[in-house]
Amino acid sequence: MVLVDAGGTNIGSVRYALQRLGVEAPLTADPQLIRSAGKVILPGVGAAGPAMARLRALGLVELLRGLIQPVLGVCLGMQLLCAHSEEGDTDCLGLFPATVRRLAPSPGLRVPHMGWNRLCAVRPHPLLHGLADDAQAYFVHSYAVPVGDDTLASAEHGQAFSAVIGRGNFFGMQFHPERSAAVGARLLRNFLSL
């Protein structure tokens, strides 16, 4: 297991969450370590443009696209797995055929969306095993993936959006599992067992 060093600011807390589950995951941009890892997590907090620029500068774009082991994008990392982001009009990794869109502000709802929100399973998947109907996760984001064919779980902030996505060996969680208490730990454990 490795954490890809994409320059995100939540890396320490993701690492600590994995340590609580008994997993040591080095932070690396080394292509050989990433390619040989049993599982890969792409964490991220920040903006799509600089994160993609960093992945390009490190020569990791094609490597990430070609991975065959389970890969999990967290927060911005999930958005980077998509085709395009409205944030900075950024082309991303293209592993999900989705465009990441800015959350629309509406009366009584602020953007960025910050706080706890209910997860609603859209279809069964081992990644969601044991997820209770009233499960909540902690979100901090201004952009989101619309609900689509790859949505495993959704959440709502003025409109429904993808909270968990999955396609082949690639997965994403828009929320922060490392800040989502028992629910986040459960979902990380599920990813580790894929």
List active site positions: 75, 176, 178
Going by C-alpha positions, the residue among 119, 123, 118, 61 that lies closest to residue 90 is 61
DSSP per-residue codes, 57-121? HTT-HHHHHT--S-EEEETHHHHHTEEEETTTTEE---SEEEEEEEPPPBTTB-SSEEEEEE-EE
Give me 23's structure tokens. 């997993």
